[in-house]
């Protein structure tokens, strides 16, 4: 750590302390406004977008300073970003959009003025995303979009959807996909909340019925969308890996405390289950350290980063199920039951984390990817080309 690092850390800490927005409001509408206000504070103070170009309101930090940024944000427990635009759409926009588009979209996204949500998955296009069917037909200066997207989070709050649509023939697969930004408030857009297995409504279905989208909302060339969608901004995401590790560390410590209070830690079988989780949670941290160390030392994230998601998703499923097992029948109580343990968080986690190994690529698809891209195993000839 250099003095410059220390100074930077101190400036962040001061800012986060001075402007921390306090506890989130319970009402969802109020909470949206509260989050937006925080993002605007960050942006206006020059503390938004650690890895983004300065030109669009970001901080353009070195990787080492991005790590510090995430550490301090986690320590201060300030709210995270809104919607999925920042992590998923922004890298594509920064790399491939026109100057006019960047001006139009990036700063408002970063400032929280516009909320972005993803429109990739469809009922018939999950793991096989290149088979997607939502069409965009060119009509003058517009595209006319028809189809259905699913598993869109933040759809209800969204101002813009970043979507993948078919502009090629039905059989064109990844060669006929275009990256299009659709105004969520345009006529013909309909959002229907989707009730998931937890009973909640985190996701929605989004229907497009003759929605007119100006061609100036297309990123890149027509039929070039597939390649564009797979953009990431260098190692930006790895910078937050340590914080993610800290979150799981905290969750495990909380479960250990619960088991201790309940007098269950004297059972050697229970202890051994904890040993297993303890090993894994520490290795999640060591992996993060090694990934970050590798990037700092040689600019390479290495294989540890490619397996981190597989590790983390299995961990979050296992810890929640173990917690429910530990609690016995009390673990089955829902939030409104008066004897519910810790507002039923473990049970909810048990249900919620079923999604961990499905969303953003199923575990099976990720294993394929690791096998082919890291280990160099041959592609399955029975599957369409990647």
Per DSSP bridges, beta strands 116-119 and 142-153 are unpaired
Q: Among residues 296 and 337, whose Cβ is nearest to another protein?
A: 296
| Residue with Cβ nearer another protein (332 or 377) | 377
Closest separation in Å from C-beta 158 to another protein = 34
| Site for another protein contains 128 (CB under 8 A) | no
Q: Does 319 bind another protein (CB under 8 A)?
A: no
Is 127 a binder of another protein (CB under 8 A)? Answer: no
CB atoms closer than 10 angstroms to residue 244: 18
Q: Does 275 bind another protein (CB under 8 A)?
A: yes
Is residue 370 close enough to count as binding another protein by CB under 8 A?
yes
What the block records as the tokens of 140 is 């003058």
Identify the active-site residue in 71, 72, 236, 316.
236
Residues between 246 and 265 that touch another protein (CB under 8 A): 256, 265
**What letter does residue 12 receive in the DSSP assignment?**
H
CB of 244 to another protein, least distance (A): 15
**Contact region with another protein (CB under 8 A), list: 16-24, 95-103, 334-342, 373-381:** 373-381
Per-residue HEC secondary structure of 243-300 comes to: HHHHHHHHHHHHHHHHHHHCCCCCCHHHHHHHHHHHHHHHHHHHHHHHHHHHHHHHCC
303 lines the binding site for another protein (CB under 8 A): yes
Residue 279 interacting with another protein (CB under 8 A): yes
**Using an 8 Å Cβ cutoff, are 112 and 57 in contact?**
no
Element (H, E) at 32: helix 28-44
Q: Quick one: tokens of 335?
A: 């939030």
Whether 316 is catalytic: no
Find the shortest distance in angstroms from Cβ 13 to another protein: 19
Stretch in the footprint of another protein (CB under 8 A) among 96-104, 110-118, 227-235, 289-297 = 289-297
Contact between 239 and 66 (Cβ < 8 Å): yes
Using CB under 8 A as the binding rule, whether residue 283 contacts another protein is answered as: yes
Helix (H) or strand (E) holding 76: helix 63-76
Residue 10 binding another protein, by CB under 8 A: no
Q: Which is nearer to another protein, 222 or 318 (CB)?
A: 318
Whether residue 155 contacts residue 117, with contact meaning beta carbons closer than 8 Å, is answered with: yes
Q: Which of 129, 21, 25, 36 is nearest to 77 (CA)?
A: 21
Say whether residue 355 binds another protein (CB under 8 A). no
292 lies in the binding site for another protein (CB under 8 A): yes
Report how far residue 149's alpha carbon sits from residue 333's, in angstroms, rounded to the nearest whole number: 34
Partners of 204 in beta bridges:
152, 193
What does the binding site for another protein look like in residue numbers (CB under 8 A)? 256, 265, 268, 271-272, 274-275, 278-279, 282-283, 286-287, 289-290, 292-294, 296-298, 303-304, 307, 310-311, 364, 367-368, 370-372, 374-381
Which residues belong to the active site? Answer: 236
């Amino acid at each position: 750590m250099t003095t410059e690092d220390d100074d930077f850390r101190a400036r962040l800490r001061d800012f986060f302390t001075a402007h921390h927005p306090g506890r989130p409001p319970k009402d969802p509408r109020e909470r949206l406004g509260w989050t937006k206000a925080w993002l605007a504070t960050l942006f206006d103070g020059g503390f938004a977008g650690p890895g983004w170009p300065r030109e669009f309101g970001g901080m353009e930090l070195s990787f080492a300073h991005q790590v510090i940024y995430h550490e301090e944000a986690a320590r201060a427990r300030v709210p995270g970003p809104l919607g999925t635009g920042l992590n998923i759409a922004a890298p594509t926009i920064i790399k491939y959009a026109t100057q006019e588009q960047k001006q139009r979209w990036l700063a408002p996204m970063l400032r929280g003025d516009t909320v972005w949500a993803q429109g990739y998955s469809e009922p018939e296009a999950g793991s096989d995303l290149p088979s997607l069917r939502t069409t965009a037909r060119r009509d003058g200066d517009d595209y006319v979009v028809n189809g259905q997207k699913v598993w869109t989070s933040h759809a209800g709050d969204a101002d813009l959807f970043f979507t993948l649509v078919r502009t090629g023939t039905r059989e064109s697969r990844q060669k006929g996909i275009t990256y299009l930004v659709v105004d969520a408030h345009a006529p013909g857009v309909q959002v229907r909340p989707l009730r998931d297995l937890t009973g909640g409504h985190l996701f929605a279905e989004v229907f497009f019925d003759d929605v007119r989208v100006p061609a100036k909302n297309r990123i890149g060339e027509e039929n070039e969308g597939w390649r564009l969608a797979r953009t990431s901004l260098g190692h930006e995401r790895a910078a937050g890996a340590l914080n993610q590790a800290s979150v799981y560390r905290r969750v495990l410590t909380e479960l250990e405390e619960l088991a201790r209070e309940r007098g269950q830690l004297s059972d050697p079988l229970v202890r051994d289950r904890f040993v297993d989780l303890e090993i894994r949670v520490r290795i999640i941290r060591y992996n993060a350290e090694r990934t970050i160390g590798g990037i700092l030392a040689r600019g390479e994230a290495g294989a540890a980063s490619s397996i981190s998601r597989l590790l983390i998703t299995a961990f979050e499923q296992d810890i929640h199920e173990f917690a429910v097992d530990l609690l016995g029948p009390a673990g089955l109580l829902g939030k409104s039951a008066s004897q519910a343990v810790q507002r039923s968080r473990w049970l909810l986690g048990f249900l919620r984390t079923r999604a961990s190994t499905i969303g953003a690529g199923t575990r099976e698809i990720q294993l394929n990817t690791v096998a082919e891209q890291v280990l160099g195993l041959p592609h399955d000839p029975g599957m369409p080309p990647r």
